[in-house]
């Protein structure tokens, strides 16, 4: 059985010397990445391609110049790793899986550095990075798998000033769960975050709304500070800490929820929503972003892969809300303000529960026969008779 590689993330508190060294490393990583991207962009304009080996040779030449001699002061491992990341970005671009790589910004880009085994030492639970003398003061909020040795270590600092270290290890404890005969359809929303085909509704915690007033006050204070001043930097960190608090609570909730769903069900059927397009609706963008449907799906899929479960994504144009889950009759219209409706067969439906049941039924069909899920067509020219629904805004 293939071993699962898992990243274990911990917070740590660096000494002043470690913080200074890591900050220098972050700056050098950003500098090398941007220079390599500029070189590859110039070559692309000349209809030439530059690969990782060529940018690695450029890095060696840059280090020998007087202007860039400071690159020798930090570990070479993160610098090489950022070139590999750039190569991956271009591979995804040429494979039409991503947009053209962008330059890293000093203010907006993530501050991080990746170390491979030659760039750190991990012994007796103590992690020491290259170019530093003392081990990191890590808060071990949970233990690493017994006998695990990190293959990659990533150090980062978020906008709130918190330091984190992520260790990639093989986790032998992650293995397929015993098969069960349960399956569930999952309909996402804003009033309720999830509605299951079993009839269970999971409330939307609305993490951002709980801190909205505090966040608004902090942002007003930030707007009044003079640009470039220390007081503005302090105010910016206060705003970042509120955002971090919201994101931490949201992530924790989604992890617990997805783990529970994967453990309880063999097959999980979801709707293939294009959240990127849905947030263009400025009236609902904030609520949709707070619900984090994309994060939910991502967690559900990788945990299902770990534990031997199946996730089926149904075509977004499938009329799950307008289809009677009892007799199969298709309603012509179903305005978003209609939350319960009665079919001609006499069955009264909760809109969201009915949608979840329909998703489950069509998802099990796909799982059984491998057929694709396509929208039902009823208009001339083959155009879809239904559009992707945008959930109604809640008061």
SS3 of residue 243 by DSSP: helix
Catalytic residue chosen out of the listed positions 21, 114, 208, 271? 271
Query: Using CA atoms, how far apart are residues 299 and 306, in angstroms rounded to an integer?
Result: 11
Cβ atoms of residues 159 and 147 within 8 Å: no
Give the DSSP letter string of 261-276: HHHH-SEEEEE---HH
Q: What is the pLDDT of residue 284?
A: 87
171 as an active site residue: the answer is no
352 as an active site residue: the answer is yes
Catalytic residue chosen out of the listed positions 114, 290, 352, 389? 352
Cβ atoms of residues 265 and 309 within 8 Å: yes
Residues 6+ apart with CB under 8 A from 238: 218, 221, 222
Q: What is the pLDDT of residue 315?
A: 86
In the chain (395 residues long), the average pLDDT of successive 10-residue segments reads 85 96 96 96 91 95 95 96 96 93 90 95 94 95 91 95 95 90 92 91 93 95 94 95 96 96 94 86 88 94 93 86 81 78 80 88 74 41 36 40
Cβ atoms of residues 82 and 40 within 8 Å: no
User: Is 170 exposed, middle or buried (CB count within 10 Å of its CB: 0-12, 13-18, 19+)?
Assistant: middle
Per the listing, tokens 């993160």 go with 78
| Angle in degrees, 0-180, between the axes of helices 52-63 and 16-45, rounded to the nearest 10 | 120
Residues 6+ apart with CB under 8 A from 41: none
Buried b (16+ CB within 10 A) or exposed e, 60-98: eebeeeeebeebeebbbbbbbbbbebbbebbeeeeeeee
Cβ atoms of residues 195 and 355 within 8 Å: yes
Catalytic residue chosen out of the listed positions 187, 208, 290, 389? 187
Q: What is the pLDDT of residue 112?
A: 96
Query: Using CA atoms, how far apart are residues 84 and 64, in angstroms rounded to an integer?
Result: 21
User: Is 380 exposed, middle or buried (CB count within 10 Å of its CB: 0-12, 13-18, 19+)?
Assistant: exposed
pTM: 0.84
Query: What is the Cα 256 distance to its own chain's centre?
Result: 16
Cβ atoms of residues 355 and 314 within 8 Å: no
Closest C-alpha to 150, from 119, 173, 112, 176: 119
271 as an active site residue: the answer is yes
């Amino acid at each position: 059985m293939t071993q699962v590689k898992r990243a274990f993330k911990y917070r740590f508190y660096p000494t002043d010397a470690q913080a200074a060294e890591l900050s220098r490393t972050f700056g050098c990583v950003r500098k090398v990445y941007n220079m390599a991207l500029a070189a590859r962009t110039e070559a692309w304009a000349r209809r030439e391609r530059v690969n990782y080996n060529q940018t690695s040779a450029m890095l060696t030449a840059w280090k020998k110049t007087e202007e860039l001699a400071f690159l020798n002061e930090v570990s070479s491992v993160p610098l090489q790793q950022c070139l590999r990341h750039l190569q991956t970005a271009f591979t995804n671009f040429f494979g039409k899986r991503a947009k053209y790589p962008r330059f890293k910004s000093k203010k907006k880009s993530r501050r991080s550095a990746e170390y491979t085994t030659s760039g750190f030492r991990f012994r007796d639970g103590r992690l020491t990075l290259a170019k530093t003398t003392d081990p990191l003061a890590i808060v071990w909020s949970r233990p690493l798998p017994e006998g695990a040795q990190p293959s990659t270590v990533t150090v980062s600092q978020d906008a709130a000033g918190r330091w984190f270290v992520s260790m990639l290890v093989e986790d032998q404890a992650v293995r397929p769960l015993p098969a069960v005969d349960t399956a569930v359809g999952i309909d996402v929303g804003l009033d309720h975050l999830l509605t299951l085909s079993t009839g269970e509704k999971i409330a939307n915690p609305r993490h951002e709304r709980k801190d909205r007033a505090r966040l608004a006050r902090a942002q007003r204070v930030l707007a009044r500070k003079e640009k470039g001043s220390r007081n503005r930097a302090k105010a910016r960190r206060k705003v970042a800490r509120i955002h971090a608090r919201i994101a931490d609570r949201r992530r924790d909730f989604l992890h617990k929820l997805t783990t529970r769903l994967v453990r309880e069900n063999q097959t999980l059927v979801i709707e293939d929503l294009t959240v990127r397009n849905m947030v263009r609706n400025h009236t609902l963008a904030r609520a949709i972003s707070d619900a984090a449907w994309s994060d939910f799906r991502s967690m559900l899929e990788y945990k299902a892969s770990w534990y031997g479960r199946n996730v089926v994504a149904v075509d977004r144009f499938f009329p799950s809300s307008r289809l009677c889950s009892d007799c199969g009759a298709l309603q012509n219209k179903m305005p978003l303000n209609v939350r319960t409706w009665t079919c001609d067969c006499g069955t009264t439906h909760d809109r969201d529960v009915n949608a979840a049941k329909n998703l489950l039924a069509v998802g099990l069909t796909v799982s059984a026969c491998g057929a694709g899920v396509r929208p039902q067509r009823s208009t001339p020219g083959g155009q879809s008779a239904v559009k992707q629904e945008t959930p109604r805004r809640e008061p």
